[in-house]
Amino acid sequence: MPELIEQESVDEKQLLEESVDYFVSFVQMFGLQKSVGQIYGMLFVTEEPVTMDRIISVLGISKGSASQGLALLKSLGAVTSHSIEGDRREYFEADLNVSRIVTHFFEERLTPRLSHGDQKLERMLRLADVEGKGSSPIMGRLQALKKWQNRGLSLIPRLLKWL
Amino acid sequence: MPELIEQESVDEKQLLEESVDYFVSFVQMFGLQKSVGQIYGMLFVTEEPVTMDRIISVLGISKGSASQGLALLKSLGAVTSHSIEGDRREYFEADLNVSRIVTHFFEERLTPRLSHGDQKLERMLRLADVEGKGSSPIMGRLQALKKWQNRGLSLIPRLLKWL
DNA sequence: TGCTTAGTTCAATAAAAAATGAACTCGATG
DNA sequence: CATCGAGTTCATTTTTTATTGAACTAAGCA
């Protein structure tokens, strides 16, 4: 009974597929590409570290996607890599690091947008004020919106602490 | 000094642009189309109710986008409409209803995905268990993942209550 | 120091998502 | 009860986003 690395039981194949599916769906909630979810899904159910060419052949994705996806996952702390003596290739494995992924999402996607929105809202308040009518219905809406925005902004650090 | 509805001061035009920009960015955080943000942004800084053809001409969007965008915004409770005696057209206006928009996002986009993921995760646990090794590293990862998922799932109702 | 090849980059291509607009519905009006 | 036109629908087109793959970089080895 040869122990080739290519050998996988039916169950292992199913598990791989489920995992890939699961994480594709997961990362898409956070606006990341499908390929990132595929890679993480594969690594998540693979015990031994794997090389990039293995990822490419198992998932059927391109070298470019694999390289970029792995780079992103490494930057998230969701994947680690190391090299092996006498082998030029890198070996990748999953790190179960849900909070890092979610934190990255907040800090890279949400917070910049919110602070950009903050500036916009200040400008709108100034414009609406210059209009003369300091207590126009529009002014009231803008002030209410500002309250909401501050509420949202204050939620983020609390969420990150909770993670 | 004729009081045509088309007349707008420079400031009003700027305010409109800022508002449109602001809400385009806002709704895109929740995966809604640009046109939805444009429409809401316009209505938000427009005191009097406006007709659909006005929205179309001011924003330069198509009838289809306007109709679908308004339908979505109405379903969110972010826009209300009424008709006027002797005028077939509907008149739309903004309702400052941030929580409805965010709640919709959670209920329509996040929750279905999470519960779908829940089923997937259960199947994965069964598959990993059948493999024999009840305490394999993979099994450990899956169990840790399940904890995270339950944590996330329990967060949603709390967030919705907070809104 | 030149060769091989693992990994990166990015312009070109493919896939996915959103916007368009023409055909349609349907209620109001003369 | 025929016509008008406001609003809807959805197949087509456009725009946006993700993926590909060939050229490139550079690290290890002879």
A48 in any annotated domain? yes
- Residue B81, pLDDT > 90, answer yes
Size of interface A-B (CB pairs under 8 A): 90
A124 in any annotated domain? yes
Examine the fold and report which residue of A61, A79, A96 is the final residue of a domain before the chain moves on: A96
Q: What is the pLDDT of residues B47-58, one digit of tens each?
A: 999 999 999 999
Q: How many Å apart are CA B121 and CA B149, to the nearest integer?
A: 9
Measuring from the CA of residue A62 to each C1', which nucleotide is nearest? D20
Domain check: are B128 and B154 in the same one? Answer: yes
Residue whose entry in the numeric block shows the structure tokens 């929750």: B111
Examine the fold and report which residue of B96, B112, B145 is the final residue of a domain before the chain moves on: B96
User: For residue B59, what pLDDT band results from cuts at 50, 70 and 90?
Assistant: very high
Cβ under 8 Å to B: A residues 62-81: none
CA distance B78 to chain A (A): 13
For chain A, the domain total comes to 2
Domain check: are A66 and A110 in the same one? Answer: no
Q: Please tell me the number of Cα atoms within 13 Å of A95 on its side-chain side.
A: 16
Domain check: are A34 and A92 in the same one? Answer: yes
Q: How many Å apart are CA B85 and CA B64, to the nearest integer?
A: 25
User: For residue B2, what pLDDT band results from cuts at 50, 70 and 90?
Assistant: very low
Domain check: are A92 and A15 in the same one? Answer: yes
Domain check: are B72 and B15 in the same one? Answer: yes
CB-nearest partner of B21 from A110, A120, A136: A120
Among the listed residues A27, A47, A48, the one whose alpha carbon sits nearest the alpha carbon of residue A36: A27
| DSSP designation for A88 | E
Sequence-distant contacts of B92-96: CB under 8 A, at least 24 apart: B92/B43, B92/B49, B92/B50, B92/B51, B92/B52, B92/B55, B93/B43, B93/B46, B93/B48, B93/B49, B93/B50, B94/A141, B94/B40, B94/B43, B94/B44, B94/B46, B96/A141, B96/A144, B96/A145, B96/B44
- Residue A131, pLDDT > 90, answer no
Q: Considering chain B, what percentage of its residues have pLDDT values greater than 70? A: 93
A66 in any annotated domain? yes
Contacts of A114 (CB under 8 A, 6+ apart): A149, A152, A153, A156
Return mean pLDDT, chain A.
90
Rounded mean pLDDT, B98-122 = 85
Q: How many Å apart are CA A47 and CA A74, to the nearest integer?
A: 18
Rounded mean pLDDT, A135-141 = 88
Domain check: are B126 and B155 in the same one? Answer: yes
Q: Is the CB of B53 under 7 A from strand D?
A: yes
Sign of the dihedral through C-alpha B16, B21, B22, B27 = positive
Q: Is the CB of B90 under 7 A from strand C?
A: no
- Residue A137, pLDDT > 50, answer yes
How is residue B89 written in tokens? 């057209």
Q: How many Å apart are CA B34 and CA A75, to the nearest integer?
A: 30
B38 in any annotated domain? yes
Examine the fold and report which residue of A96, A119, A152 is the final residue of a domain before the chain moves on: A96
Query: Residue A2's pLDDT is what?
Result: 43
Residue whose entry in the numeric block shows the structure tokens 């414009």: A127
Higher pLDDT, B141 or B136: B141
B4 in any annotated domain? no
- Residue B105, pLDDT > 90, answer no
Q: What is the pLDDT of residues A32-80, one digit of tens each?
A: 999 999 999 999 999 999 999 999 999 999 999 999 999 999 999 999 9
Query: Residue A104's pLDDT is what?
Result: 79
Domain check: are A78 and A120 in the same one? Answer: no
User: For residue B95, what pLDDT band results from cuts at 50, 70 and 90?
Assistant: very high
Measured to protein CB atoms, the chain C nucleotides within 7 Å are 5-11, 17-23, 27-29
Q: How many Å apart are CA A151 and CA B88, to the nearest integer?
A: 40
- Residue B117, pLDDT > 80, answer yes
Q: Which chain B residues touch A96 with a CB distance below 8 Å?
A: 141, 144-145
Cβ under 8 Å to B: A residues 89-128: 94, 96, 98, 109-110, 113, 116-117, 120-121, 123-124, 127-128
Domain check: are A18 and A89 in the same one? Answer: yes
Contact B144 A21 (CB under 8 A): no
Rounded mean pLDDT, B94-113 = 83
- Residue A3, pLDDT > 50, answer no
Domain of A89 in residue numbering reads as 10-96
Q: What is the pLDDT of residues B152-163, one digit of tens each?
A: 999 989 988 988
Domain check: are B29 and B86 in the same one? Answer: yes
Inter-residue contact B16 to B38 (CB < 8 Å): no
B76 in any annotated domain? yes
Rounded mean pLDDT, A134-143 = 87
Q: Helices marked H in A1-106 — which ranges? A: 10-29, 34-44, 52-59, 63-76, 98-105
A1 in any annotated domain? no
Query: Residue B4's pLDDT is what?
Result: 47
How is residue B52 written in tokens? 């659909």
Domain check: are B117 and B157 in the same one? Answer: yes
Higher pLDDT, A130 or A62: A62
A5 in any annotated domain? no
The domain spanning residue A64 has which CATH number? Answer: 1.10.10.10
Contacts of B24 (CB under 8 A, 6+ apart): B34, B37, B38, B41
Domain check: are A88 and A105 in the same one? Answer: no
Domain check: are B75 and B103 in the same one? Answer: no
